[in-house]
Structure 1
Amino acid sequence: MNDYELKVYDEVADWKFKITKRSGMVSRFSKKAQGKINGLIPEKVHQVVTESIKAMVKTTLFGSQMTTNKLQANGLSLKERDELMGKKTAAFQKTALIEGAGTGAGGILLGLADFPLLLTIKMKFLFEAASIYGFNTNEYEERLFILHVFQLAFSSDEVRRETLKNIENWEERKQVLIEMDWRKFQQEYRDYIDFAKMLQLVPGIGAFVGAYANNNLLKHLGETAMNAYRLRVLKKAPEL
């Protein structure tokens, strides 16, 4: 392991400690309140929402698969991959910021349209991240890994710790993780972003809130994706 890889190893360890810490009181209270609200929603509604999110995500995965340059990082060192990842994250943050400002300024109808648009941006970004670190998204297991990275970024304490364990032991876990728990996937994501996205619908501040929230959500996803893939690269460099 060279000097840069040792540095990355320490950074990944710090990141793992940070994301496994207990959330603050406000986040825990919000999650508890959202859990009660979810309990009041009829089961049929949960089923419809879950199937809708599942279809939306699968469509987005297919589109991202078709448009991602899978050879963009051939021959690059880990340091060069991290630098490319930083540039890619900044570019997607800018895209998400513009999209959030535009839909936030458009009132309730465009604010609601922000959900699928932002989801598409995030999934496309994760395909780019997989490509940068040399993993082949033609393989089903790698597309499944992308969904787990997404869930790691946008979930509650308990689910985040569970998902991190799956990511840390991916070569073993992928044999039994045949399909996503789509109910958990959609509820965790909606609960995570609900507060910020609801404020985006408020007239007068929607554009600012939309831009700020989307920028931070992509920044957080970028950090999560980079370190999730670093974990795998440091264990076993992928074949290109």
Structure 2
Amino acid sequence: MESEYTLYEQQTSRQLKRWEIRLHKLPNLVERASKSMQTGINNLIPDKVHTTITATVKGIIQTTLFGINYIPAQGPLQGLSLADRDAKAQELLALYKKIAAAEGAGTGAGGILLGLADFPILIGIKLKFLFELAHVYGYSTKDYRERLFILYVFQLAFSSHEKKPELLLTIKNWRSVADTFPPAEAYMDQVDWKQLQQEYRDTIDFRKMLQLVPGIGAVVGAWANYGLLEELGVAGMNCFRLRWLQDKAKPKKL
């Protein structure tokens, strides 16, 4: 397949293979201990609290994925090379890291209440970034299946090591997977929202908890949000690069 690619695309393909290997690596001792502690904490949290948080996450993501406000005004970019798309994606990521850092600093400086408000705001920033990233790589978010792809990318970026291989497999086989989807509303009923919110919360917990500490909230909030957007950017760019290379090798049938 690589013989069909330019030199840049061949290099990218090899980078993606190394990224996939890293995703399949087993967590180290510290990561396993952290996950075990977070699981224990989750078990102590009353079901009513989990239900409330789950409903919040579900509401935010559903509103974002199936509203029209997040669809970029500019249509998907056409006719660009992968190198040009990657350059534009890096510019977009740099912008959103600054936006997230500024938001984290502002809410972190405002104490516990504003710190808690950062949770839904940050999800919105992340999803808005992914919407625009899709258009950079030539995929229109007017198609609900592209918005579901964004949901999988979001989960891949903020999920446990155990879940990443399964999510990556879905992303790698997206063309065939997307053909099996029911209507959008029916599909969303099949999402395990409790698991999604727990995986997401466990991934960001330590950094975001520090944001609530008086005196250091602003600094930590900026640092945490900047880093979380960086992680999302790496996952998002690699997922879209993977699809772009697959589509070049096997163009869609008209």
Mapping of 1:35-74 within 5 angstroms?
A: 35-62=39-66, 65-71=69-75, 73-74=77-78
8 A contact 2:76–2:139 mirrored in 1: no
Deviates more, 1:176-185 or 1:13-22: 176-185
Q: Which stretch has the larger CA shift, 45-54 or 207-216?
A: 45-54
Q: Match of 2:116, as an amino acid?
A: L
Q: 2:243 maps to what in 1?
A: 232
Question: What is the aligned counterpart of 2:219 among 196, 208, 219?
Answer: 208
Deviation at 1:152, TM superposition (A): 0.4
Distance in 2 of aligned mates of 1:38 and 1:176:
33
CA–CA distance in structure 2, aligned partners of residues 165 and 109 of structure 1: 39
How far residue 44 of structure 1 moved from its aligned partner, in angstroms, is 3.5
Q: Out of 196, 204, 207, which is 1:196 matched to?
A: 207
Deviation of 1:61 (Å): 2.7
Classify the secondary structure of the residue corresponding to 1:125.
Answer: helix
CA distance in 1, matches of 2:227, 2:239: 18
Q: % of aligned pairs identical?
A: 51
Among 121, 128, 138, the alignment partner of 2:142 is 138
Secondary structure of 2:139's aligned partner: coil
How big is the shift at 1:136? 1.6
64 and 204 in structure 1: CA distance in 2 versus 1, 3 angstrom threshold: farther
The alpha-carbon distance between structure 1 residues 59 and 28, as it changes in their structure 2 partners (threshold 3 A), is same
2:133 aligned to which of 129, 133, 140: 129
* Residues 1:107 and 2:106 are matched in the alignment: no
Residue identity opposite 2:75 in structure 1:
L
**One-letter amino acid of the counterpart of residue 219, structure 1:** E
**Does the CA contact (< 8 Å) of 2:159 and 2:200 recur in 1?**
yes
Between the aligned partners of 1:158 and 1:141, the Cα distance in structure 2 is 25
Structure 2 residues not aligned, in runs of 5+: 182-186
The answer to whether residue 27 in structure 2 is matched with residue 23 in structure 1 is yes
What is the rounded CA distance, in whole Å, between the counterparts of 1:142 and 1:67 in structure 2? 11
Q: Deviations over 1:40-95 (max 9, x none)?
A: 33333323321221111122234565451342522211111000000000000000
Q: Cα offset for 1:159? A: 0.8
1:62–1:175 distance in 2 versus 1, CA, 3 Å:
closer
Residue 149 of structure 1 corresponds to: 153
Provide the TM-score with structure 2 as the length reference: 0.88
CA contact (8 A) 1:65 1:127 kept: no
- Contact 1:73/1:131 (CA < 8 Å) preserved in 2? yes
3-state SS of paired residue (1:38)? helix
Secondary structure of the residue aligned to 1:138 is coil
Q: Is the 8 A contact 2:71 2:142 kept in 1?
A: no
Gaps of 5+ in 1: none
Please identify runs of 4+ aligned residues in structure 1 that moved more than 6 A. Answer: none
Letter in 2 for 1:101: A
State the number of aligned residues. Answer: 239
Please tell me the root mean square deviation across aligned C-alpha atoms, in Å.
1.8
**Aligned partner of 1:15: which letter?**
W
- C-alpha separation in 1, matches of 2:180 and 2:53: 26
